[in-house]
Amino acid sequence: MPLALSRRGFIGSAAALSAAPAIARAASAETPAPVPVNPLVRQRADAQVFRHDDGYYYMTGSVPEYDRLVLRRSKTIAGLSTAEEAVLWRHEASGPRSGFIWAPELHQIDGKWIMYFAAGPSGGGDDVFRIRTYAIVCDGADPMTGKWRVLGEFQAPWDSFNLDSTSFVHKGVRYFAWAQREPGIDTNSNLYIAKLESPLKLAGKATRLTVPTLDWEVRGYKVAEAPAVLHRNGRLFMTYSASATDARYCLGLLTADENADLLDASSWTKSPQPVFVTNSATSVYGPGHNSFTVDEKGRDILVYHGRDYEAIQGDPLFNPDRHTRVQRLYYTADGTPDFGVPVGNGPTPERFISAADPKRLLAHDGDRLIAGNPLLPQTQFRQTPGRAGARSVMLSPILLPDHFLVADKDGVLTLQKDRKTADFALRSQFVRFEDQGAVRFVAIAAPGKAIGIDGDQVKLVRSRDPRARFHAD
């Protein structure tokens, strides 16, 4: 995703500035779509973002005070960062909905806006975790300005801890999925699914989809919660969150054929390993409670929360720094989601595929640049404002956030740790050109040369050489 280069300020050294202007003037004057920057929204956990058919992105999530239901919207994902937030409803003064408010999720069902949420009573002690699922309903077409009232309580199969409700339609049938503690099973929560008759009433018997038993599902607590459904490539994928809400929190995955009976537990296969976990290289800890949306180009986006530090003072459940984050969701050759790793703070990264050899991408192995198709995280590079003028950019791999691509006049391209010198400021600067669906990165330190792929090597080539063209993905 290209950055809006025209907005960049001049902060580079004198040497870098003297090399930049001629190239900078040649760059495209078009203003590209805004790039989301992580964290997208701070202190909003359990994030749900979706694009409605009115052209807006809607976002809700848990607030650190756990006392209210909120909603914001924007025409772009990036715009959610600064969008005005409306308070739809606050917890009550007493009773079963007077305590913690958890994990809201917004849906439109039978023409009405419905927001599911979990709540418990106030008063302290274990009773505050007598969590049940409820819904509020909007009296108008606009969920931001309409009046909301309590619709009622979800009629769960058992009167026990339940939360994280979601709803989806498949082949014309509306389903409900949620997490609940089932009497007689020694877990904190399992995942369930059923057909939905009305927003709070099931149409039939519930099916238990999975129980947390694997080592990565039971660290701290035995948890399977926060289901989210994605229908792609002939299958339904249901992510869920597992283990305690600290750095051990992670995503698991269930998969079913799109033509299978979704109410038959045997239709769903559990991935034996988590699909999305803490990554210390990118400094994102405890990624989880996700949702899915699409970006402005229709490409799949993973939405989740995570902290940017590991050590937590006190109970992690009451730590406020679970931030909403977004990143591209890719797929393997067989159509399975490839979640990669949490990409870390800063503009969302891209992959650069050689236009001359689509089987090769700009990639790295440790601090060595390579041309190939290794693991997804090795092919993701973040583009940040440069130091050599309003149109210069720097490229950094997400796994080495303190390293940048550096160009030498002899044609050698390397990954180097930022030295914060005038020479480094010059050699790490490129100008991004958009050209008929492809991009080129022209080196400021080597006029007329650009990043290119030559066989299995990444090197400087002539800026108009076909090997210098990439498709950004």
Interval 195-232: pLDDT, tens? 999 999 999 999 999 999 999 999 999 999 999 999 99
CATH code, domain carrying 236: 2.115.10.20
Same domain for 95 and 45? yes
Between the CA atoms of 453, 459, 461 and 466, what dihedral angle is there, to the nearest 10 degrees?
10
Res. 15: pLDDT tops 50 = no
- Among 304, 327, 346, the domain-final residue is 346
Least confident of 27-36, 86-95, 136-145: 27-36
Same domain for 424 and 391? yes
- Among 290, 319, 346, the domain-final residue is 346
What's the pTM? 0.92
DSSP assignment of 347-415: EPPB-EEESS-TT-EEEEETTEEEEE---GGGG-EEEEE-SSSTTEEEEEETTSTTEEEEE-TTSBEEE
Spatial distance between the Cα atoms of 167 and 12, rounded to a whole number of angstroms: 51
Same domain for 321 and 371? no
Same domain for 319 and 361? no
188: left (phi over 0), alpha (psi -120 to 50) or beta: alpha
Same domain for 358 and 339? no
Structure tokens, 169: 């339609």
Same domain for 372 and 293? no
CATH code, domain carrying 419: 2.80.10.50
pLDDT (average), residues 273-287: 98
Same domain for 437 and 467? yes
Residue 319 structural domain: 37-346
Confidence class for position 388, pLDDT limits 50, 70, 90: low
Res. 14: pLDDT tops 50 = no
Question: Mind telling me the catalytic residues?
Answer: 46, 225
Same domain for 342 and 352? no
Same domain for 380 and 233? no
- Among 346, 378, 409, the domain-final residue is 346
Same domain for 190 and 134? yes
Same domain for 378 and 337? no
Q: In this predicted structure, what is the pLDDT of residue 18?
A: 33
Number of domains in the chain: 2
Are the C-beta atoms of 19 and 386 separated by less than 8 Å?
Answer: no
Q: Is 336 exposed, middle or buried (0-12, 13-18, 19+ CB in 10 A)?
A: middle
Same domain for 73 and 43? yes
Q: Which of 29, 33, 18 is nearest to 347 (CA)?
A: 33
Q: What is the pLDDT of residues 299-338, one digit of tens each?
A: 999 999 999 999 999 888 889 999 999 999 999 999 999 9
Q: In this predicted structure, what is the pLDDT of residue 245?
A: 96
